[in-house]
Amino acid sequence: MLHTFVSYVEDKPGVLTRVASLFRRLNINIISLTVGRSERSGLSRLTLVCEASAEAGNRIRASLYKLDNVLDVDDIAGAPSVTRELALIKVSATRHTRSAIFELAEVFRARIVDLTAESLMIEMTGVESKIEGLIQVLIESEHDILEICRSGKMTMRRGHHTSRVLKALGSDDTEQDSEQLTADSE
Amino acid sequence: MDTHTNSSSATTPTMLTGSEIIWATLVGEGVVEVFGYPGGAILPAYDALRKFPIRHILVRHEQGAAHMADGYARASGKVGVAIATSGPGATNLVTGIATAMLDSIPMVCITGNVSSKVLGTDAFQEVDITGVTLPITKHSFLVTRPEEIAPALRHAFQIAQSGRPGPVLVDITKDAQQATALFDFEAAKPKPYRPHPMLKVETNELAKAAELIRNAKKPVILAGHGIQQSGAMEQVRALSERAQIPVAMTLLGIGGFPASHPLNMGMMGMHGESWVNDAIQNADLLIACGMRFDDRVIGTPGTYAVKAKKIHIDIDPAEINKNIKVDIALLGDLKDVLEQLLPRISSGKAGQHNGSSWIKAIEASKGAVSVRDIKNIPDSGHLYAAHVMHDLWRMTGGNAIVATDVGQHQMWEAQYFHHEHPRSLVTSGGLGTMGFALPAAIGAKVACPDKEVWVIAGDGGFQMTAAELATIKQENLKINIAIINNGYLGMVRQWQEFFYDRNYESTPLVSPDFVKLADAHGIAGLAVTTRGEVEAAVNQARKHDGPFLLNFFVEQEDSVYPMIPAGKALHEMIRRPGHNPLVETPEDL
């Protein structure tokens, strides 16, 4: 099954290697990985999607937690959440074919962000299937796709769900930190 | 861990070189002995060593340093420290680090590296050691500035010994050692230890576990390394005695539960006795205490104890349901979890009653097997490894620290040397590292100078790290060495005998005269060829003032029984042959 892990990691050299190495060791292919700054200074947030057995999810989560640079791991699984992916698609287009692509982009609520005499660039945000859909339609309409750049999935739980681990980290009282951290497990 | 504060630098902030900071931090962490080998990139640190109250044991190969730090940690429970230079010095540590990782041993390895300005340029003796060791360390640090040294080292000590222990590597560039920085030991203290967020013992899980234990008719405790790591010897014993539950030990669990205890069945797994493995296969409840259902103890997952409910108590949530699916997981430090569980286990007669018929059945299943045991058959004049182990155990009263290598002798030791005390067996279980015994024994002896320390090694493994004989001599350590010499890489030969039609390819071994080798190192020694000589030889070794080597020429094609072939179930073991030509009298006991 497809697992989606959302994790907060220290923003330091080598941290991504440690995370990636865990999946390498288990011979699990990372389907998608996005990393960027989070709402906490010094912490990056990553969304990692991989294919693994249902039982493996808990073990991966437990193993990620064992990494010293990893502060929080959430296995999103089937929880209500919003997932988005960003795609930039460069398509070969002349002034004769442009308007057809504009129409397609309109339907998919994508934007044209670059335009030259021979090509244009489409920016699109959405779930994976929507992006796949646009690409499919472009191909079927015999437009020549020159480049595709996709960000990979970003996922956030719906509703007022924030990590209590991170809340605890915000506190200055370090003693209290560790207590709250201990208490914070699902 | 005690904080050693006889260095003033550990209390008041002072300007020091990075090199001095290394030692001052170690002193602050309570380190008194380190094992290492100098070289270019770590020379600044060695230059500053004389100013600090730390004993440095010079090894002959960095692998030895890592194994010594490991043996030191296993024997004492303290963090072992190994030091090496960059490049080959660092890569030579790798086998030792992996050994410690697989057996969860708290260890800090410090390596020098080339100057930060040339990092990543393939400078002379440069290797990306934090990269190389990434999968075999619990964590690692690359330190390029002197002010980062103390925080990194202190954090390393915390990581090494907290939670599930393990090795941590701190790689320090040469320029960081040479530059100066303000050293403030207190300020370098790491953030409080953050327990694994998934560690939590649910009250209802505890209640369910207690109920399973109360209702079990055929329970077995699986005693693992975690008992000694956690210091839960008393709690496991209380659980076993209170509910009358027999105990089976993993190889690394040996010592965590006294061998002489009537409820101790012995070692489980590939070379465990048949009654132990049969008890596990017939059990209706397994209580796994600090063990990880390694493939060497379960045979195959699909056939393992299929009738048993399983309770798994472990500090590492990643071990739960890894090899064997369990019914109840109690996550936490074993001692703490058992402290919570014990009040729920009554010593009422229900448990007693249920236990005793089960225990009687196990006892009954021993009888027929143990008469075929080698120590019960008359003397044929031949010398068998089992005799040596049995006599060593008898003569040391089982009180010595024994460091074993890997192979047949390791299994015979586990079968015939009955360990009463925790941390008295030092052996490489997970990685199965040949060459471990000699350096690990040096570490154990340095950690416990008042204990009798024996090395038991095969003729193959001994030669992998035999250079450390010189270390023993230089440090003048009273270590006794028993080489179980059968002229083969014995365990491999056994597999060739059983599974490869006796095709003894590349296993016969021509070895040096080990007594002469010892003599060349200024170490006394003696060769032993018959059973009758064993006792006198062991006596001579023990009485000798200084290290002593015994070269036991044992039966060449003897095999370790029982044995579960790889990929078979625990009950499908190859039993001891009924007819053994090696016949001895029961009086020999």
Model confidence over B317-331: pLDDT tens digits?
999 999 999 999 999
Q: What pLDDT score does B470 carry?
A: 98
Q: Is residue B451 part of a domain?
A: yes
Is the pLDDT assigned to residue B149 strictly greater than 50?
Answer: yes
Parent domain of B76: 8-183
* Relative orientation angle of helices B203-215 and B349-370, to the nearest 10 degrees: 60
Q: Which residue of chain A is at minimal alpha-carbon distance from B198? A: A185
Q: Are residues B19 and B57 in the same domain?
A: yes
Q: What percent of chain A has pLDDT over 70?
A: 86
CATH number, position B42: 3.40.50.970
Q: How far is CA B502 from the centre of its chain?
A: 31
- CATH architecture designation of domain A2-79+159-176: 2-Layer Sandwich (3.30)
Tell me whether residues B318 and A62 touch, CB distance under 8 A. Answer: yes
Q: How far apart are CA B271 and CA B216, in angstroms?
A: 27
| Closest approach of B315 to chain A, Cα-based (Å) | 11
Cis bond before residue B508 (omega within 30° of 0): no
Instruction: Give the model's confidence band at B485: pLDDT under 50 very low, under 70 low, under 90 confident, else very high.
Output: very high
Nearest to B114 by CA among B77, B142, B135, B148: B142
Instruction: Give the model's confidence band at B347: pLDDT under 50 very low, under 70 low, under 90 confident, else very high.
Output: confident
Q: Are residues B74 and B130 in the same domain?
A: yes
Is the pLDDT assigned to residue B576 strictly greater than 80?
Answer: no
Q: Is residue B412 part of a domain?
A: yes
Looking at this predicted complex, what is its ipTM?
A: 0.87
Is the pLDDT assigned to residue B16 strictly greater than 80?
Answer: yes
Average pLDDT, chain A: 87
Least confident of A79-83, B34-38, B59-63, B409-413: A79-83
Q: Are residues B363 and B375 in the same domain?
A: no
Nearest to B423 by CA among B451, B396, B395, B386: B451
CATH number, position B303: 3.40.50.1220
Give the CA dihedral B251, B255, B259, B261, nearest 10 degrees: -120
Burial class (CB in 10 A: 0-12, 13-18, 19+), B587: exposed
Q: Are residues B418 and B301 in the same domain?
A: no
Q: Are residues B138 and B260 in the same domain?
A: no
Catalytic site positions of B: 62, 124-125, 174, 491
In this structure, what token pair is assigned to residue B571? 């009950």
* Higher local confidence (pLDDT), B429 or B586: B429
B-chain residues within 8 Å CB-CB of A59?
A: 318, 320-322
In this structure, what token pair is assigned to residue A28? 């699990």
Q: Are residues B384 and B344 in the same domain?
A: no
Q: How far apart are CA A42 and CA A39, in angstroms?
A: 9
Q: Tell whether A174 is within 8 A of chain B (Cβ).
A: yes
Is the pLDDT assigned to residue B284 strictly greater than 70?
Answer: yes
Q: How far apart are CA B296 and CA B163, in angstroms?
A: 24
Q: How far apart are CA B166 and CA B437, in angstroms?
A: 19
Is the pLDDT assigned to residue B372 strictly greater than 60?
Answer: no
- Contact criterion met (CB below 8 Å) for B173 and B113: yes
Q: How far apart are CA B529 and CA B395, in angstroms?
A: 18
Is the pLDDT assigned to residue A99 strictly greater than 80?
Answer: yes
Instruction: Count other C-beta atoms under 10 Å from residue B282's C-beta.
Output: 17
Is the pLDDT assigned to residue A181 strictly greater than 50?
Answer: no
Local structure of B532: helix, strand or coil: helix
- The domain total for chain B is 3
Helix (H) or strand (E) run with residue A126 in it: strand A119-126
Handedness of CA B117, B120, B125, B127 (dihedral sign): positive
Instruction: Give the model's confidence band at B378: pLDDT under 50 very low, under 70 low, under 90 confident, else very high.
Output: low
pLDDT tens digits, residue range B448-483?
A: 999 999 999 999 999 999 999 999 999 999 999 999
Which of these three, B335, B367, B399, is where a domain ends?
A: B367
Q: How far is CA B19 from the centre of its chain?
A: 32
User: In angstroms, what CA-CA distances link B282 with A138, B235, B302, B570?
Assistant: 64, 25, 15, 11
Nearest to B165 by CA among B375, B340, B317, B315: B315
Q: What pLDDT score does B7 carry?
A: 46
Q: How many CA atoms lie within 13 A of B289 on its CB side?
A: 35
Q: Which residue of chain A is at minimal alpha-carbon distance from B135? A: A21
Q: Is residue B354 part of a domain?
A: yes
Instruction: Please give the model's pTM, rounded to 2 decimal places.
Output: 0.92
Site from A65, A73, A180 to mutate, B interface, most B CB atoms within 10 angstroms: A65
Q: Are residues B209 and B272 in the same domain?
A: yes
- Contact criterion met (CB below 8 Å) for B138 and B160: yes
- Contact criterion met (CB below 8 Å) for B538 and B486: no
Site from A43, A60, A63, A68 to mutate, B interface, most B CB atoms within 10 angstroms: A68
Q: How far apart are CA A149 and CA A13, in angstroms?
A: 25
Q: Which residue of chain B is at minimal alpha-carbon distance from A55? A: B321
Regarding beta strands A119-126 and A111-115, do their DSSP bridges make them parallel or antiparallel, or are they unpaired? antiparallel
Q: How far apart are CA A171 and CA A15, in angstroms?
A: 24
Q: Which residues contact A130 (CB under 8 A, 6 or more apart)?
A: A108, A124
Tell me whether residues B198 and A182 touch, CB distance under 8 A. Answer: no
Nearest to B270 by CA among B530, B519, B572: B572
Q: How far apart are CA B445 and CA B432, in angstroms?
A: 21
Q: What pLDDT score does B349 carry?
A: 47
Q: What pLDDT score does B12 carry?
A: 79
- Nearest beta carbon to residue A184 from set B159, B197, B321: B197
Return the bridge partners of B183, or none: B14
Beta strand residue intervals within B51-185, DSSP E: 55-58, 80-84, 107-113, 139-143, 167-173, 180-183
Q: Which residues contact B68 (CB under 8 A, 6 or more apart)?
A: B35, B57, B59, B80, B82, B439, B440, B442, B443, B446
A-chain residues within 8 Å CB-CB of B164?
A: 66
| Rg, C-alpha atoms of chain A | 20
A-chain residues within 8 Å CB-CB of B138?
A: 66, 68
Phi/psi for B136 (5° steps) reads -115, 15
Q: Are residues B390 and B466 in the same domain?
A: yes
Q: Does domain A82-150 have CATH number 3.30.70.1150?
A: yes
Q: Are residues B516 and B378 in the same domain?
A: yes
Q: Is residue B196 part of a domain?
A: no
Q: Please give the interface size between A and B, counted as residue pairs whose CB atoms are below 8 Å apart.
A: 62
Site from B102, B129, B196, B333 to mutate, A interface, most A CB atoms within 10 angstroms: B196
Q: Which residues contact B371 (CB under 8 A, 6 or more apart)?
A: none
Q: Is residue B191 part of a domain?
A: no
Q: Are residues B442 and B484 in the same domain?
A: yes
Q: Which residues contact B34 (CB under 8 A, 6 or more apart)?
A: B26, B54, B55, B56, B57, B69, B81, B82, B83
Length of chain B: 589
DSSP 8-state class, residue B515: H
Q: What pLDDT score does B368 carry?
A: 60
Q: What is the mean pLDDT of residues A35-58?
A: 93
Q: Are residues B277 and B397 in the same domain?
A: no
Tell me whether residues A14 and B130 touch, CB distance under 8 A. Answer: yes
Average pLDDT, chain B: 92
What one-letter code names the amino acid at B571?
H
Q: Are residues B283 and B234 in the same domain?
A: yes
Phi/psi for B222 (5° steps) reads -100, 110
Instruction: Give the model's confidence band at B380: pLDDT under 50 very low, under 70 low, under 90 confident, else very high.
Output: confident
In this structure, what token pair is assigned to residue B188? 């370098």
Q: What pLDDT score does A8 carry?
A: 96
* Higher local confidence (pLDDT), B254 or A184: B254
pLDDT tens digits, residue range B65-90?
A: 999 999 999 999 999 999 999 999 99
Which of these three, B346, B367, B388, is where a domain ends?
A: B367
Q: What pLDDT score does B589 carry?
A: 35
Q: What pLDDT score does A171 carry?
A: 41
Q: What is the mean pLDDT of residues A58-62?
A: 93
Which of these three, B134, B155, B183, is where a domain ends?
A: B183
Instruction: Give the model's confidence band at B344: pLDDT under 50 very low, under 70 low, under 90 confident, else very high.
Output: very high
Tell me whether residues A59 and B322 touch, CB distance under 8 A. Answer: yes
Domains of chain A, residue spans: 2-79+159-176, 82-150
Q: Is residue B198 part of a domain?
A: no
Instruction: Give the model's confidence band at A77: pLDDT under 50 very low, under 70 low, under 90 confident, else very high.
Output: confident
Instruction: Give the model's confidence band at B354: pLDDT under 50 very low, under 70 low, under 90 confident, else very high.
Output: low
pLDDT tens digits, residue range B173-225?
A: 999 999 999 999 999 999 999 888 888 888 999 999 999 999 999 999 999 99
